[in-house]
Structure 1
Amino acid sequence: MRGLVREAGFTAGSLVLPMFVREGISEPAPIASMPGVYQHTIDSLKAAAREAVDAGVGGLMLFGVPADHDALGSAGVDPDGILNRGLRALKEAVGDEAVIIADLCLDEFTDHGHCGVLDVDGTVDNDATLEIYSAMAVEQARAGAHMLGLSGMMDGQVSACRTALDEAGFTSVSILAYSAKYASAYYGPFREAVDSQLKGDRRTYQMDVGNRTEGLREALLDIDEGADVVMVKPAGSYLDVLSDVAQASTVPVAAYQVSGEYAMIEAAAANGWLDRDRTIMESVTAITRAGATIICTYWATEIAKKVSRV
């Protein structure tokens, strides 16, 4: 009876698995603050991707961790940089069986850890960053990405990347816009995962945690610029924003269950304070109840093995 009247649910194909590939390691490196999540080698990345896709996971979102960082994030544009090599490996491993999503941002690659290049006064130079994003977009498309995850929160990033892709002939490569990305404390474990070099914070370009209406405005702006999917990040603490965006959006809506959300549940479960499996499923169901049809979660493979593919 409960199954017949359930209002919100999801399938394995609704899930996206975030993955990390690291340059210069010979075996997968565990991430201490995210039990069960690894920085992969190229070979282990392919194996983990195959496992996820065989379980029915609909998308793979890849982040690169380079050996060297510089002020311009040059490794992000390099065709032979770790992220682009990882994208080619995913394409080889799973082809078109899942949507391969490339993270398009500079924070993993810069020696200051910001999502854009810095001006002489130390502030992020939005327009100079867009030029680099445009070059990254084309290289990631060449490497085999089906979709680009624009996570930098620069003004105009969707329009700039859409134009660059179209001019290079990649008209079928889609854009996932991180539209409402908040300056959240929940990103802490992720910064370990990508070996972040961040100095300071990102509150000048990520959103204020107290702003709800602004999240909807940002999503609508990205839709106007040509986004194919809009996203709210983090998910669990921003279900109100997610609901607003889902009700107004004319394109599919995604939500990212971020590293801190993952880490909290894993830590509480390890201490015996929560029923791990029930809490995981409840947290993801809440995201779909709020309106997301695409859920990015580090539990994607595990969950997919428990739920229907269709």
Structure 2
Amino acid sequence: MKLIKKIAAIMFVFMMVFTLSSNVNAEETTGTGKIIINQAVDKAEYKIYKLLTLESYDKKNNIYSYKIDSKWVNFFEQGDIKNTYVATENGYVTKWIGEGTENETRMQEFTKKALEYAKNPANGITETDKKTATGDSVTFDHLGLGYYLVDSSSGALCGLTTTDDQITITEKNEAPTVEKKAKLDSDTQYKNTALYAEISKKIDFQIGFTVTKGVENYVLHDKADDGISIDSNSIKVHVNGVEKSENEYNLDKNPNDGCTFDIDFQNKLNENDKVVVTYTGHLKENAKILDLNNPENTGNVNKSYLTYGHKNKSNESEVIIYAGV
């Protein structure tokens, strides 16, 4: 138990130490457990999946009996799982197989496989519970004791409950943020303040963001008001200062989400990558002119945002451009 607590405090660890016996004759498990996620990402969705049920345990001899949940039997019987990560017998997990239970890489490999299995509709897996964060903490309680996989829409987590009543894990996946800027030919640098441009004159746009830890499925969305024309053929994507070819991302010039264009990065980005997207455009004849007497005149807006994880949405960043007078 000390080892389990130690590792759980260090990182999001799943399936730590299996000093188990499928024939243990010991105390019954009648309590309930609780998983608390601290530093949760606001509005992110969290799901838990129960993989193993703790049927009984012998505290004195540190022996536990974990039965595989019926929905997960096929997963544990797969050739790349059984006798590779765990040993099973008669529907029970009997021990962890590997070079050491504190090997982070090995735990991450196992967790990734479990998440992929859970998210494949063909496997018929449904979450035990799910909640959307409304602040910086999420709690799952009244849980049957066992081992749980915890997934976040901002990226993968993995957590566990054992015979302890409660375990706390910390979300280390940060919500990504995006920044939009623009400049005219007369400007020396991009700005995020309002601009005044002549009709049909070129405007340079720039979108930037940094890839955060654990976050997946990045898609960049860009939407321009009707008074702004975007040249979709001018779009360029740079990652860490290197221009990427179009086969390294998917550019949709006519998306069905109401945006001007979308860029799906197809999970080819890595943590801490700095992404910069540039393109050009201009104001059209119907562009709005600054009118201080008209409070409804919001200018010509071009905004960008990211979607990531499982349909999570980042901040919206925009630039406002008025037709020059």
Query: TM-score higher than 0.5 here?
Result: no
TM-score normalised by structure 1 residue count: 0.22
Q: Which has the higher helix share?
A: 1
Q: Which one has the largest radius of gyration?
A: 2
Q: Which has the higher strand share?
A: 2
